[in-house]
Structure 1
Amino acid sequence: MAGFQLNLRSILWRTRYFPKSEIMSRQEEGLFRYTYRDFIERVHRFASALKDLGIKPGDRVSTFAWNNYRHLELYFAIPCYGAVLHTVNIRLSEDDIAYILNHAGSACVCVDPDLVPIIEAVAPKLTTVKSYIVLDDTVPETSLKPVMAYEDLIRGGDSSFVFEDLDEQSAAGMCYTSATTGRPKGVIYTHRGLYLHAMALGLVDSMGICELDTLLPVVPMFHVNSWGIPFAGIWMGSNLVLPGRRPHAEDILGLIESEKATFAAAAVTVGIDMLGVLRQKPYDISSLRALMLGGQATPKAVMKEYLERYGVPIFTAWGATESAPIATTVHIKRHQQGLTYDEKLDIRIRQGIPVPGIEIKVVGINKQTVPWDDQEIGEIYVRGPWVAQSYYNDERSKDSFEDGWWKSGDMATVDEEGVLHLVDRAKDLIKSGGEWISSVNLENELMAHPYVLEASVVAAPHEKWLERPVAFVVLRSEAPKELRPEDLKKEFATWLGRKFAKWWVPDDFIFVEEIPRTGAGKFNKRLLRERVAGGLN
């Protein structure tokens, strides 16, 4: 009906129909558990406190927190009041954090108590912040001023506070990219965009989030709205399990087992860590209908092990901060149901087709869309109701947006079904002797080797070929200790040579204890490239 506004207030309103649905939050003192009925009351109380603090509609209220129940309350209290939920990535450098808070024009910062020292360190550089709220019962000893305790505001808040109707095109949220190159870039999410994105996550052919689910979003709430799962889960009435401060693989697996989680979402690197634990110690994860892994391509070997050993299918998708983030998802179509097990896995390791509402094209070097032949590589362009039209107050917008399309910088091919296959980030493709080499394909095949836990491939400068691939490898604990590095390098070169042309095989394999991660949990290839910037001997 004309005039009805699609906003987060409408999502919150529906929670009244699920008063007994539960939210579980892993805290230092144990698992905190409460119902939607209590959650709704606290959301209203905090929203009224924002008004009493002088926060105005449109003001940026920043959060600096883990995945916990208080952060979830902020996800709704701030935007439903009319302010802008500005989630700040806690893993960024102090310099980038200060830049983000100033660039966004943050009026207030809500911070978890263990993260207060980071905000104290950047506070002298902040130019717009007027108050700080510590997400706890009390305020620790701190140099932050003025500062107050979240629970004091909750106790003094009005549980009958009435939310005003909101323009669906007004800003509801704000997030910055994870600064892999240059300064982080800000993206504004409108109420309409987040509403439609949450609706898309409830579709059977995307995540299928529903009331019967017990959701475990491991993906951080401090970056890209935890993939939109909190909004979709609350809307559908799902139970939510929030993993809290610094969750390790053992913590996540323990929560799946104890709370019978049905759907979990995490970075690929976390999924790999979980497999490493499962090989050493049994956990019951049979309640999972799916585990969604993202942030980078999921190796086929990882998918296969989860499905064969634990009966858990891996859901894959593709997106980014600019697309809020889900743009594509993978599912097996009707006419593909009769395919073999391996043939279905070959589909699942791809990045899928656009979710309803999203349009995608893959543009080649001639600026024409590539044919659906799974051969020609192009850059993925995206547009849709929850996809950004520009960056917030950033001149770099002109390089990333064109005629309503966001140019992702991700390179892909498209098969005859229209299914994307992510080849690489444009900056991560390796051009050796005039030919392209996909670091993603090499990584996936390396991680299929029984001795390899993790692998990341980058380009090293080369005098003759300009660039050559180099692989950084983390070995599994069960890799034979008697094998020398030279023997392992030959083994991995032979392994890759069975699938790829000889000139694709990395010139060197560098063994490391761990591969550095970005603030979003992806392999940090920039740091790896710096290690080999001088080339190879």
Structure 2
Amino acid sequence: MKNFVVHQLLYHAVITHPEQVIVSDGKQFTFRQFYSRVVKLADSLSKHGVKKGTVIGVLDVNTHRFLEMHFACSMLGAVLHTINFRLAPEQMVYSMVHTGDEWVFVSDVFAPAVKPLFPKFPNWVLMSDNREQSLPETRSAFHYEDLLEQGEEKEPAGAAQVKENDIFSIFYTTGTTGKPKGIQYKHKTLLYGTLQLFHHLALHKYGARVSSRNVYMPLIPFFHIHAWGMAFFPIYVGAKLVLPGTADPAGQMALIQKEKVSWMNMVPTQLQMLLDQKGFSNINVLTGGSPFASGIAQKAQDAGVNFSLIYGGSDQLATAISVVPEEVEPDTAEALEWRRVGMRPLPLVEVSLRDKSGNEVPHDGKSLGAVW
């Protein structure tokens, strides 16, 4: 790898798995076709003045266009602001102003809701298949597909100058007090975090085990740490990727069956809704983000859902994932409890419990402390 940066993953994937596919919005793109779209988009944006350090906000669900923006921004050295659509409207505006969005890409799903914001930001791109849809009345506005077609199929001149310590993206948390907090991710941070997370999952026999043979469908949105690394991992291993867009649980179930999805990530509430769908079984699931009730865990196990629980917060991709020790029988109540709460730090991650004075507490299964 020339540079440890996001777009190098796509270069590698096109060479090694050119005919592997990404499914999105009822369409299918091979990695080769996807790469062609990405470089055209990057070239077009370069012609319109986007350069290293330009901040680009994207407001979208998990679609191929949002994924294309990841790699186009990487090639240009632009900073991708993955806009958190779960923020309150005034907080979302705050995040866009605070991070200095110079371009805003918005899907037709969200465009009506953000119409009052059009005058606040100079450059808008509408992400839609419908090129007849009215564009924002701003200084500079484009339909995504028109913008893409203005580009040539060539790598941007500055792509080789993007470095691993450059900022790749910014994400604003919902937080619990005050205004949303912005977190900057370097290329290196995200790629190391993704490899740590999925290396950990590949090492252990039970739970949400991963391999290149899986068909992946992330329900965690791209705005949240790039769907917990799922914007990168399937590309990295050359696996099929299915993007659910706006699909509800019934629509997600239809995609699972049609595309033979075998690995997903989601919060426990989403898992509960899918467990209520007929036929949801024999799938590996990485879940987390909120408490995982024992009742849902039991229901998942009964359905043949192999789950692991992720813990970590937003400062890094993950800190720990639940693991069933080798000496524990897999189909037992003890194993189920290990999968629900038995956290093990990711490779090269150090975790300790500290008391109020910052002193490490004993590892005796009884002492309480804060996670450091």
TM-score by length of 1: 0.65
Percent pairwise identity = 25
Give the structure 2 partner of residue 74 of structure 1. Answer: 69
**Counterpart Cα distance in 1 of 2:244 and 2:33:** 19
Q: Is the partner of 2:183 in helix, strand or coil? A: strand
Give the structure 1 partner of residue 263 of structure 2. Answer: 263
User: Aligned-pair distance for 1:338?
Assistant: 3.7
Once the two structures are superposed, the pairs formed by residues 347-358 of structure 1 within 5 Å of their partners are 347-350=338-341, 352-358=343-349
User: Aligned-pair distance for 1:9?
Assistant: 2.5
Once the two structures are superposed, the pairs formed by residues 279-298 of structure 1 within 5 Å of their partners are 282-283=278-279, 285-286=281-282, 288=283, 290-298=284-292
**Counterpart Cα distance in 1 of 2:108 and 2:87:** 18
Contact 2:118 2:136 in 1 (8 A): no
Find the partner of 2:13 among 12, 15, 28.
15
**Counterpart Cα distance in 2 of 1:248 and 1:378:** 40
Cα offsets for 1:17-73 (capped at 9, x unmatched): 111111111x3xxx2112111101111111111111111201111100011111111
Aligned residue type for 1:18: H
**Counterpart Cα distance in 1 of 2:118 and 2:142:** 15
Cα offsets for 1:395-431 (capped at 9, x unmatched): xxxxxxxxxxxxxxxxxxxxxxxxxxxxxxxxxxxxx
Give the structure 1 partner of residue 311 of structure 2. Answer: 318
Q: Is the partner of 1:326 in helix, strand or coil? A: coil
Give the structure 2 partner of residue 306 of structure 1. Answer: 300
Give the structure 2 partner of residue 197 of structure 1. Answer: 193
Unmatched runs of 5 consecutive residues or more in structure 1: 382-537
**Counterpart Cα distance in 2 of 1:377 and 1:260:** 43
Cα offsets for 1:426-483 (capped at 9, x unmatched): xxxxxxxxxxxxxxxxxxxxxxxxxxxxxxxxxxxxxxxxxxxxxxxxxxxxxxxxxx
Give the structure 1 partner of residue 213 of structure 2. Answer: 212
Give the structure 2 partner of residue 180 of structure 1. Answer: 176
Give the structure 1 partner of residue 122 of structure 2. Answer: 130
User: Aligned-pair distance for 1:208?
Assistant: 4.7
Which stretch shifts more, 202-211 or 222-231?
202-211
Contact 2:294 2:340 in 1 (8 A): yes
Once the two structures are superposed, the pairs formed by residues 331-480 of structure 1 within 5 Å of their partners are 331-334=323-326, 336-338=327-329, 341-350=332-341, 352-381=343-372
Contact 1:253 1:285 in 2 (8 A): no
**Counterpart Cα distance in 1 of 2:294 and 2:109:** 38
Q: Tell me: CA distance 1:368–1:270, structure 2 relative to 1, closer, same or farther (3 Å).
A: same
Greater RCO between the two (CA within 8 Å, min separation 6)?
2
Unmatched runs of 5 consecutive residues or more in structure 2: none
TM-score by length of 2: 0.92
User: Aligned-pair distance for 1:339?
Assistant: 6.6
**Counterpart Cα distance in 2 of 1:142 and 1:13:** 33
Contact 1:120 1:142 in 2 (8 A): no
Cα offsets for 1:218-240 (capped at 9, x unmatched): 11112221111111111111111
4+ residue segments displaced more than 4 Å: none
Q: Is the partner of 2:266 in helix, strand or coil? A: strand
**Counterpart Cα distance in 1 of 2:98 and 2:12:** 34
Cα offsets for 1:69-127 (capped at 9, x unmatched): 11111111112221011100112222111100111011100110121123222334x3x
Contact 2:324 2:342 in 1 (8 A): no
Find the structure with the greater CA-based Rg: 1
Q: Is the partner of 1:72 in helix, strand or coil? A: helix
Contact 1:201 1:208 in 2 (8 A): no
**Counterpart Cα distance in 2 of 1:328 and 1:225:** 18
Is 1:232 equivalent to 2:223 in the alignment?
no
Aligned residue type for 1:312: V
**Counterpart Cα distance in 2 of 1:41 and 1:150:** 15
Contact 2:285 2:305 in 1 (8 A): yes
Give the structure 1 partner of residue 320 of structure 2. Answer: 328
Find the partner of 2:163 among 157, 161, 167.
167
User: What is the RMSD of the two structures over their aligned residues, measured on CA atoms?
Assistant: 1.9
Aligned residue type for 2:323: H
Q: Is the partner of 1:99 in helix, strand or coil? A: helix
Contact 1:268 1:293 in 2 (8 A): yes
User: Aligned-pair distance for 1:139?
Assistant: 5.8
Give the structure 1 partner of residue 274 of structure 2. Answer: 274
**Counterpart Cα distance in 2 of 1:354 and 1:98:** 36
